[in-house]
Amino acid sequence: MRAIKIILRILAGLFAVIIIAIVALMLTFTASELNVARIDVGDLPPASPPAGMSISALPTGSIESKAALAFRGGAWNDIRQFSMTALLVRHPKGNLLIDTGFGKNVDDHVRSLPALLQKTTTYTKDTPVAAQLAGGGMTPGDLAGVILTHAHWDHVSGLDDLGNVPVMVDAAEKGFIDAKTQNTELLNSFNNINYKQYEFEGGPYLGFPSSHDVWGDGSVVIVPAPGHTPGSVVVFVNLPSGTRYAALGDMVWQMEGIELPAEKPWLLRRLIGEDDDQVHKDIAIMRSISKKYPQIHLLPAHDPSAFRMIPVFPQSAN
């Protein structure tokens, strides 16, 4: 009798601990405004994009998720399609792709993910980048390079179809790739990737500490924005019309991350291994940029609404 009482007490204690843990975890998904400083981002950097430069979107599919999993305070019944959209920047000095979305082997790629991620990934396939380019009369050989915002699987899946096109990464992301953790397993499974490492030899840019001006005319400028991964970047694309874009990668997953602002839920940040302080700094800068320069359109990689104003390849805007 006494033994039964003790067992019941232990079970009640365990039950209470589990309930407290679940409540604590759910609280990490609730709204919590991120307190970020207003940054002086300086003057609008000059750009002299050539007349022949343009931008196009190449949608390759999407992953179904929920706002609650995208940013703190998002609703659980607010279904969000996470876009997997590559950008093509055509430029007389060389055409560049920014990220690659889903490739033709995406089913295999998803099967290679950790079990939990595999089970929680519901995705829809569109046309892979290589096939879209072919449909518009272009081949991978027409690309001068692919700029990766970072090396996660959903940004590199399409690289599998692009042969030995140079893959442009900064030193920190190359180190992250070479560390061969689970985070970069897919990229490391591709044979003979032709990495082209670049340096941030240029000065400060819109609040970021340094920059890399790809063609030397201010039209495509990469800045370090670490945090989501050690070598994550933002790519600024400045068009002849004066329209400017900032491809944010996964600094935030949906626009609310900048607008509210709000960080990703704690559980997701820990699973990814993000550096919270760095991401907060990036968000502070991007938020200050968008307040001061509304002509710069922010493109969180997985927010389809942000890409709507960019024509789909072979259409383009300049």
Binding interface with Zn ion (CB under 5 A): 152, 250
Cβ 306 to Zn ion shortest distance, Å: 16
Alpha helices by DSSP H, listed for the chain, are: 2-27, 67-70, 106-111, 115-120, 129-135, 153-156, 171-178, 185-189, 256-259, 266-272, 276-292, 304-307
Neighbour tally for 2: CB within 10 Å = 6
DSSP 1: -
Closer Cβ to Zn ion, 188 or 318, answer by number: 188
CA distance 101 to 145: 15
What minimum distance in Å lies between the beta carbon of 16 and Zn ion?
Answer: 37
| Cβ pair 153, 109 in contact under 8 A | yes
Task: Using alpha carbons, select from 75, 59, 71, 62 the residue that is nearest to residue 121.
Answer: 62
- Smallest CA-to-CA distance from 53 within 264, 241, 250 is with 241
- Smallest distance, Zn ion to C-beta of residue 38, A: 27
**Integer CA distances (angstroms), 1 to 11, 15, 318, in order:** 15, 21, 81
Q: Strands 54-66 and 79-90, how do they pair?
A: antiparallel
Closer by beta carbon to Zn ion, 26 or else 117: 117
Query: What is the nearest approach in angstroms of Zn ion to the Cβ of residue 302?
Result: 8
Nearer to Zn ion, 213 or 250 (CB): 250
- Nearest approach in angstroms of CB 161 to Zn ion is 20
Ordered DSSP codes for 157-218: GGGGGSTT--EEEEHHHHHHHHTT-GGGHHHHHSTT--EEEE---B--BTTBS-BEESSSSS
Of 184 and 290, which has the nearer Cβ to Zn ion? Answer: 184
Q: How far is the CB of 58 from Zn ion (least distance, A)?
A: 18
Quote the radius of gyration of the chain (alpha carbons, Å): 21
Smallest gap from Cβ 269 to Zn ion, in A, equals 11
Q: Which is nearer to Zn ion, 212 or 269 (CB)?
A: 269
| Nearest CB to Zn ion, comparing residues 144 and 255 | 255
User: Which is nearer to Zn ion, 41 or 225 (by Cβ)?
Assistant: 225
